[in-house]
Structure formats: C-alpha cells, structure tokens
Amino acid sequence: MKGMLKKMSTELRFDRWRPRFFVLEGQQLLRYHKKAHSLTSKGVKSLSITAGALVWLTAQGRHFCVRDEFGVTWQLKAPDTNTARLWMTAINAIISALYSELHETPADDFWQARGAEPLHAFYRTSAAASAAAAAAAAAAAAPQWIRTYPAADAPRTGEAVFPGEVVEVEQRLTAADGAVYLRAADERGWLVLRADKASSGA
C-alpha cells in the first residue's frame, strides 16, 4: 500500500503537518519525500511493524497514530476518514499475522466448551438520535477491531467494524471478567459488546 499522507513534524513551527509519501512494505512503514516519484534512499525513514506495534484512530476521524514496540509514534493525517481506515486495516493485518505466528489461536470448539452459546442477532456499533448526529459520530468515533478469538489480548484480524455498521452475530460468550464477546456470522472473528452500544435480536 502506498500514498500521500501528512505527518506531524517534531519541529516547533506554525504548521507542523508535512505532506509525505508513505509505503507499507513487508514489516516496514516507509516515509519518503513529499513527492511520489522521489523514491530514493535519501531522507527515508521507517517504522517497524511488529507484533507489539499499535495503530489507533483519534477523535479527529482522519488522524491516526502508529506506534512501534519501542514507543516511537508517528502521528499521521489522511485526506479523509475512509483512507485512514484503509491504512489502519492494512497495518493491523500485518500485526495480526505476526502475532498469530507467536501465539497459538484456540479452535472454535475450545470456546464452545467454555460456555459460548448460539445466538442469532444483529449488533449495531452506534446509535444516534438523527442522521446528522450519526454522521458526526461516524466521522469522529474510533473503529472496533475484530479479534481472532474472544479475549482482551487476542490479536486483531486486520478488519474492523466502524460506527454505524450492523453485524450479524451467531455466538455469544461471557468471559470471567464479565466482558461479553460476539462472534460474527461471516466468520470474520469476535467483537466485544460495548456497554454504550446496542444489540437487537432477530
């Protein structure tokens, strides 16, 4: 994946957002000069994407952050929220794959034996009193990342459910800490049921 993004500079200037060309290649997020055709080694910086890396969306919608396992953080701004989500999904897919190589993922029957129950319902990730409020919430709220199995420390699959989406679920599991997990019917993985969100049966 490649494209233009803005990166917040560490220099104390009036406008700290600098346009730069980024390439996600292998396990590296590479930052080149601001022009796409300037793919030279001069001035190239990189951020390693490992199993311990993190990526998250801020309240500004198209502004997201990527942090490596050592705490180095890049603050990035995409042209729009959808582009930011595409970058985040691609980066999280790498993190998930690397995490899965280090940790064994339990089989589905493992969770069935621990109390997971059948459920046919639709989980809505956000609710608003009006269409305008829903649009504002969708632009500002962070995505809910889908996990490979129902646990707080489970690796992300690289996919997410964004505000306003409705997901069909087929299984529910209540963890020992009280958290409720829902398994997507399309086999994408597990979501945690948020207290401020709505779930309706079907």
Tokens 């420390």 correspond to 153
Distances (CA, A) of 73 to 10, 42, 178: 11, 21, 32
What whole-number distance in Å separates Cα of residue 44 and Cα of residue 139? Answer: 32
> In the prediction, which pLDDT does 107 show?
58
Backbone φ and ψ of 197, nearest 5°: -110, 170
> In the prediction, which pLDDT does 200 show?
40
| Residue 15, pLDDT above cutoff 80 | no
Does the domain made of 108-201 have the CATH classification 2.30.30? Answer: yes
CB contact at 8 A, 156 and 169: no
What whole-number distance in Å separates Cα of residue 108 and Cα of residue 161? Answer: 21
| Residue 137, pLDDT above cutoff 90 | no
| Residue 129, pLDDT above cutoff 60 | no
Tokens 């029957």 correspond to 109
What fold is seen in the domain 2-102?
PH-domain like (2.30.29)
Backbone φ and ψ of 92, nearest 5°: -65, -30
Res. 198 pLDDT band, cuts 50 70 90 = very low
Taking every pair of Cα atoms in the chain, the longest distance, rounded to a whole number of angstroms, is 58
Task: Write out the two tokens for 69.
Answer: 């396992």
Tokens 């080694």 correspond to 41
Q: Which residues contact 138 (CB under 8 A, 6 or more apart)?
A: 81, 126, 162, 163, 164
Domain boundaries, the chain: 2-102, 108-201
Res. 169 pLDDT band, cuts 50 70 90 = confident
| Residue 86, pLDDT above cutoff 50 | yes
CA nearest neighbour of 76 among 41, 36, 24, 126: 24
Give the tens place of pLDDT for each residue, 150-168.
888 777 777 788 777 788 8
